[in-house]
Amino acid sequence: MTKGDKILIIFIIIVSLVSLGFVKKGAIGYKEKYVSIQVNGKEYKKIIFDNAVIGKTIPIETEYGYNLIEIGDGKVRVIEADCPDKIDVLQGYISSPGELIVCLPNKLVVEIKGIEETREIDHISH
């Protein structure tokens, strides 16, 4: 192990921690959040969290495969999948905006998105 190796390791640790901070920082500052389920890049379903949807399961059956998604109290997870590795099931709940569950074989992305506070002005009258 040379000096260059140590510098490289420290450099990568710093870079990844800083970018991790940026990813997490993007998660705060949202008033409301919703679940966006995307299959093959297109939005398949959009679910806004409220008390009515807690405990609901959503089956997603597409030409790429089958996944079962469960909505919890402000969180979401995949509980069943027909993909071979089941990484999406093992990942468990996600809850903050920007977090996502990906199932690569089924081309499925479950993402939590934030709704930004609307600062736009609806109407101006002179």
Partner 1 sequence: MKRLNKLIFLSLLVSIGLALSVLESLIPLPITIPGAKLGLSNMVILVTLVIFGFKEAIVVGILKSIVLVLITGSISSLMYSLSGAILSCIIMAIVYKFFTNIFSLIGVSIFGAVAHNFAQVSVAAIMMYNARIYSYLPILLLTSLFTGYFVGLSSIYISKNLKKNLKSYSR
Q: Give the shortest CB-88-to-partner 1 separation in angstroms.
A: 8
Residue from 47, 70, 82, 91 touching partner 1 (CB under 8 A): that is: 91
Residue 94: partners with Cβ closer than 8 Å, 6 or more residues away: 75, 76, 77, 100, 101, 110, 112
Closer of 21 and 55 to partner 1 (Cβ):
21
Per CB under 8 A, does 63 bind partner 1? no
- Could you tell me which residues are beta bridge partners of residue 45? 37
Closer of 71 and 99 to partner 1 (Cβ):
99
Distances 78 to 18, 28, 37, 83 between C-alpha atoms, Å: 29, 24, 11, 12
Per CB under 8 A, does 107 bind partner 1? yes
Closer of 58 and 96 to partner 1 (Cβ):
96
Reference 112, options 52, 51, 23; nearest CA is 23
- Contact criterion met (CB below 8 Å) for 32 and 115: yes
Q: What's the token pair of residue 85?
A: 């590795």
Closer of 47 and 100 to partner 1 (Cβ):
100
Residues near partner 1, by CB under 8 A = 1-2, 4-5, 8-9, 12-13, 15-17, 19-20, 23, 38, 40-42, 84, 87-88, 90-92, 98-100, 102, 104-105, 107, 109, 111
